[in-house]
């Protein structure tokens, strides 16, 4: 009898250990059923994993699952909605980037035109300065090469000198005003 009782005891002990392992391992998945990722709790629902979009209330008892106060969505459904929203946001971002690219191209074109206008203006200023210098030199030479008779008459010589200075001053002022206007 002792043998039968001893064998039964072993069986009973094994059965008890097996039940304890089953209960402990059964409690662990219940606890792991409610994973919290970022700010969302993932719960095991009747149709599969669900995400708590409301407030997740953790369990007070380790053997019991927590629950969601508010809306819970099927994980596959939430993934599809999230993917669609991401695609819409990416499309909006692409439109903004294309708009920025177009504006930059327009700005670059305007800058290129401004640079070209500046170069043209500078070239025009340089040509104006050269023309002024040539004109001043020509006027001075012509007055200086007048015949000796005209130069011998003192009043005529003084009048011609004033005329020469007036013409040179007008040429100087005229070209200085053009150069300042085109430089602006």
pLDDT tens readout for residues 22-60: 445 444 443 344 566 656 778 877 778 888 888 888 878
Q: Closest Cα partner for 177 from 125, 108, 103, 137?
A: 125
Q: Could you report the per-residue pLDDT of 85-94, keeping only the tens digit for each?
A: 999 999 999 9
Task: Report the C-alpha gap between 67 and 114 in whole angstroms.
Answer: 67
Q: Where are the domains of the chain?
A: 2-81, 91-183
Q: At what angle do helices 75-144 and 154-183 cross, to 10 degrees?
A: 170
Q: What is the CA radius of gyration of the chain?
A: 50
Q: Closest Cα partner for 161 from 136, 138, 144, 137?
A: 144
Q: Could you report the per-residue pLDDT of 101-129, keeping only the tens digit for each?
A: 999 999 889 999 988 888 888 888 788 78
């Amino acid at each position: 009898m002792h043998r039968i009782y001893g064998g039964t005891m072993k069986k009973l002990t094994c059965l008890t250990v097996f039940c304890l392992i089953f209960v402990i391992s059964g409690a662990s998945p219940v606890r792991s059923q409610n994973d919290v990722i970022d700010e969302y709790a993932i719960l095991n629902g009747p149709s599969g994993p669900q995400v708590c979009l409301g407030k997740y209330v953790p369990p007070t008892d380790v053997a019991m699952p927590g629950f969601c106060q508010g809306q819970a969505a099927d994980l596959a459904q939430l993934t599809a909605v999230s993917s669609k929203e991401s695609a819409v946001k990416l499309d909006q971002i692409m439109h903004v980037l294309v708009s920025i690219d177009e504006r930059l191209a327009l700005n670059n074109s305007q800058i290129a035109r401004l640079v070209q206008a500046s170069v043209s203006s500078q070239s025009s200023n340089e040509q104006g300065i050269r023309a002024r210098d040539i004109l001043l030199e020509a006027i001075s030479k012509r007055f200086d090469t007048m015949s000796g008779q005209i130069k011998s008459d003192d009043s005529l010589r003084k009048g011609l000198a004033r005329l020469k200075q007036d013409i040179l001053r007008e040429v100087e002022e005229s070209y200085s005003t053009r150069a300042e206007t085109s430089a602006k």
